[in-house]
Structure 1
Amino acid sequence: MPSLMPLLLLPGLLLASFVHGYLPDSERGIVNSLLRLMLQSVYSSEGVPNPSVHIALRLARDHHLPTEELLLQQLKMTAVEKVKHGDEFSSGLVALYTLAIAASCNDPTDVCYKEDRIDLIEILQEKLTKEIEHITNTTFPLTNYYQVSLDVLTLCVMNKQISQGSIQALADAVLNDKFTHGSEFSVGKNTLC
């Protein structure tokens, strides 16, 4: 099985090429091979669909719409099934599913599979509320600050309000240096800031 490290680099490469409006010919080959690798991953039977792959595919200049549509349907099915069966669905993962579904111009407040419908925004807001309550009570989230930061950013991208109390709890955590783990650098803190 190929390394997943290139998948972690692709969104940055794609975003950089989008922001700068071009991709040098010397880098086009690696981007195309990463795109092929991501497209192939959609057809692998290993694990659940990856919303980050869908976001990266949507950001790409070149598209393979049938594969992107298949991945979108897999994401919708997985999200609905996770909620329906009460499976593990962390706040950060809900945020990624929300962004991935929205990246295809689908409404994350109305995700359907078979006869079942879910509202990912509502679920994300509920999960963020629980995260904030846990931070208020213990100074640490249920998951980690990276996921909480992703939750906040996703709700902002989706033009949803975040309560003043939630903002205050997160600001207090930043100001009181609760984002560090020992002396380690915290991606969550820097994401939120």
Structure 2
Amino acid sequence: MSRMLVIESSARQEGSVSRQLTRRLVDAWQARHAADTVVWRDLAAQPVPHLDADLLQAWMQPADQLSTPQQQALQRSDRLIEELLAADVLVIAAPMYNFMIPSTLKAWFDHVLRAGVTFRYGANGPEGLLRGKRAVVLTARGGIYAGGPQDLQEAYLRQLLAFIGIHQVDFVHAEGQSLGQPLQQEGLDKALGQLAALG
């Protein structure tokens, strides 16, 4: 039995293409793996605060010296990391906003990339500690960017995930969603086809 962690980051609840992809992926996954557990974290409904001085300080000083706000910031980071550590499969739904991921998703990564917990620095540089996990990244994009120089989003997410040791990553892009028909439907159909091919 495996555990899947789903991270939603679209600001929209209704009409969100990335949420549509997530629902399709999870439904298909549960049909094949009925005993698996799926945990949802919606960063639009429950945003994670941006990285601040309280969390930075909490990472760097002894627990008995933390102020109440610092303790609360550290506990929040701990909870998010515990969810990630418990997951075998990580699903990230990331619409493209201004060529990049939503700021809410960046804030989540800022909470879970922690030295000594999800990565460490060794003699040969940084080493990811979350080995053996798989990630699926679902994106929705207004234009068509995959494989081109303007696709900063995929390269950035691959870097973040590799940094914590997640190297098995599948990307599914629903592109052309602001280009009108038929490109909008073609982009969605292509993404749904890729989803169906995922094991």
Query: Normalising by the residue count of structure 2, what TM-score does the alignment of the two structures yield?
Result: 0.30
If asked which structure has higher relative contact order (CA below 8 Å, sep 6+), I would say 2
In terms of fraction of residues, the more strand-rich structure is: 2
Query: Normalising by the residue count of structure 1, what TM-score does the alignment of the two structures yield?
Result: 0.31
